[in-house]
Amino acid sequence: MITVGRSPPPAPVGSVWFSDGMDFETALGSLFSPEGRRDPYPAYDVLREHAPLFPALDGRWFVTTHAITGRLLRDPGVRVADAAVYDTFWPDWRANRGVASIVGSMLLTNPPDHTRLRRAAAATFTARRVAAMRDMITDQATDLIKAMPERTDFVSAFAYPLPIAVICALLGVPDTDRTWFREQAADLTVVLEPISTADEMARADAAGRELEDYFIGLIAERQKQPRNDLTSALVAGGSGLTGQELLANLVLMLVAGFETTTNLLGTGLHLLLDQPAQADRLRADPELAPAFVEEILRWDSPVQMAARYTSEPLDLGDGLHLPAGADVNLLLGSANRDPDRYQDPHRFDPDRPNIQPVSFGGGAHYCLGAPLARLEAQVAFPLLLTMLPRLALAGEPRLRDRLVLRGYAELPVTTS
């Protein structure tokens, strides 16, 4: 195994036993094992009981609570691992174009460059543009539901095609290229994981090159013939982005524009079908969709971990401190199930007050596409439940073996 942007799986702090029979050492190590990734929540409970913030022996820090996670996401003294950080441990990272695409984007850029990059994207990716897509999302979701066979994999039949169609429409990518985009994006997203194989990184490199070549061609087309899409707006809007910055952020928007939404749709449907009383409520009253989506995001976040670095010493109160240069892993999935923030956190309850999941991050790096992901889910779930009243699970689902990006690879269902 090789690691991308992080050190190997953490050395434990020590062996401390808890009442549920899992020791601290096992809990921390399990997050980096296939078994632990399938269900990380028991380990999160043990780690959170141990401490809200703690260092492993390899020097990395882990954050388990909602309060500290929210604080660090918004603290301007806490930064992402940018190109300068990558240079310190991987001088040749630019040779892997999948890694280079992500590191060169606003996702892994700090101020002042991040401010400039995000401002350019936000000027085109506006709330008005997103809201105007509701009818298109509804039409796309309706067509996909009508086309679903009696027995199918929900991920392939709906959870992937819907967000792919939406982000491709937003970027101005032809419908005929959607399947190809899915394949490239699936290979590239491994660069966001803390651990990957050499073969996975080779595929990420190839995907990065393919996507860069594709967007170079699309940019050239929009320079000649602008259209009413996000690519044209970025090309013609005087964004001030360099050519490489424009490429990196288009690749990021494509990948981020569907990966987390696909996971949200798969996780949400599995949850609803597993709790038919809640599904009946949403079917009877689609206006409940926003609250349901927020609770789905809290209950099983599509993004489970965010990495940050401290640029200065931080005093977090209650005797908790972080040194300058600390490599900090924010366990978002643990924060979303923190009993100090949510009563009975392991229970799915869309009626709970003041749901504020940290699933989309926070502060300067709050996910730009969060409103679009929420809108797609708010439209999709009521449509699925009303158009397919007999929709049911039809076998054992299969989770992707990922720690950071959590979701189903397969979710077999029957529609009638």
On the question of pLDDT at 20 being above 60, the answer is no
Average pLDDT over residues 121-132: 85
Give whichever of 64-68, 111-115, 255-259 has the largest mean pLDDT: 64-68
- What integer best gives the mean pLDDT of the chain? 90
The SS3 assignment for 330 reads strand
Given CATH 3.30.450.20, say whether it is the number of domain 39-414: no
CA distance 186 to 328: 26
At a CB cut-off of 8 Å and minimum separation 6, what does 145 contact?
158, 383, 384, 387, 388
pLDDT grade, residue 89 (50/70/90)?
Answer: confident
What per-residue string of b and e applies to 79-91 under the rule 16 or more CB within 10 Å gives b? bbbbeebbeeebe
pLDDT tens for each residue of 34-74: 888 999 999 999 999 999 999 987 888 999 999 999 999 99
Average pLDDT over residues 333-338: 98
On the question of pLDDT at 7 being above 60, the answer is no
pLDDT tens for each residue of 217-242: 999 999 999 998 889 988 886 667 88
Phi-psi map region of 242: left, alpha, beta (phi>0 left; psi -120 to 50 alpha): beta
Q: Which pLDDT score, from 0 to 100, does residue 5 have?
A: 40
On the question of pLDDT at 93 being above 70, the answer is yes
pLDDT grade, residue 321 (50/70/90)?
Answer: very high
Does a cis peptide bond (omega within 30 degrees of 0) precede residue 112?
yes
Q: What amino acid is encoded at 8 in this protein? A: P
Q: Which pLDDT score, from 0 to 100, does residue 337 have?
A: 98
- Per this entry, what is the length of the chain? 416
Lowest mean pLDDT of 184-198, 362-376, 395-409, name the range. Answer: 184-198
| Strand-pair partners of 329 | 62, 307
Look up tokens 């449907």; give the residue.
269
Share of the chain above pLDDT 90, in %: 69
Q: How far is CA 278 from CA 145, 281, 340, 375, in A?
A: 21, 5, 25, 20
| DSSP state letter for 58 | T
On the question of pLDDT at 294 being above 50, the answer is yes
pLDDT tens for each residue of 360-390: 999 999 999 999 999 999 999 999 999 999 9
Q: What are phi and psi of 304, to 5 degrees?
A: -100, -20
Average pLDDT over residues 183-195: 86
Phi-psi map region of 335: left, alpha, beta (phi>0 left; psi -120 to 50 alpha): alpha
Rg (CA), the chain: 21
For the chain, the straight-line distance linking the first and the last C-alpha, in angstroms and rounded, comes to 44
pLDDT grade, residue 32 (50/70/90)?
Answer: confident
Q: What is the DSSP string of 117-170?
A: HHHHHHHHS-HHHHHTTHHHHHHHHHHHHHH--SEEEHIIIIITHHHHHHHHHH
pLDDT tens for each residue of 262-286: 999 999 999 999 999 999 999 999 9
For the packed helices 289-299 and 276-284, what is the interaxial angle rounded to 10 degrees? 150
On the question of pLDDT at 2 being above 70, the answer is no
Report which of residues 91 and 240 the model is more confident about.
91
Average pLDDT over residues 107-136: 89
CA distance 350 to 272: 11
Average pLDDT over residues 171-175: 89
pLDDT grade, residue 399 (50/70/90)?
Answer: very high
CA distance 247 to 366: 21
Q: What are the tokens at 119?
A: 């401002």
Q: Give domain limits for the chain.
A: 39-414
pTM of the model: 0.91
104, 109, 111, 115: CA torsion to nearest 10: 70
Reference 325, options 102, 70, 69, 61; nearest CA is: 61
The SS3 assignment for 234 reads helix
